[in-house]
Amino acid sequence: MLSTLYAITIINVLVAAGFAIGGLVRPSSVAPGQQTEASLVFAFCTFARTIPVALVTIAAILWAPVVVVLWLSALAGLIQLFDGYVGTQMKNSRTTWGPIVTVCCSQPIRDVVIDL
């Protein structure tokens, strides 16, 4: 069960990092519409938030105690939950349901690992 939590957590942070990188390289692939200075600033802010969380989470999976991974997995899930909310405000089903499904998949596994 622990390896499943690790796998879902790694997928979670890598997908988020991929979207952050995609937003910098080709903003229209993440957010449709014309690129403006505001959208570029938003892409940089997303990148600045996502990449450190991904790197620290992967390092924790490799070297830290399980309790640290549980906290970082919960943080990544919370970030995804808020990303899903942003998707609802943008009326973008892909941006809404992708993060919400990730949270729904990882939370029951976290609960089981905590009970161990």
> For residue range 76-114, what is the model confidence (pLDDT) as tens digits?
888 888 888 888 887 877 777 877 887 777 767 666 666
Domain holding 45, by residue range, is 2-115
pTM across the whole model: 0.80
Query: What average pLDDT does the structure give for the chain?
Result: 84
Pull the structure tokens for residue 69.
């991974």
Q: Exposed, middle or buried by CB within 10 Å (0-12, 13-18, 19+), for 37?
A: exposed
* Phi-psi map region of 31: left, alpha, beta (phi>0 left; psi -120 to 50 alpha): beta
The arithmetic mean of pLDDT across residues 44-68, rounded, is 93
How many domains is the chain built from?
Answer: 1
Q: Is the predicted pLDDT of residue 36 greater than 70, yes or no?
A: yes
- Whole-number pLDDT of residue 104: 79
Q: Is the predicted pLDDT of residue 48 greater than 90, yes or no?
A: yes
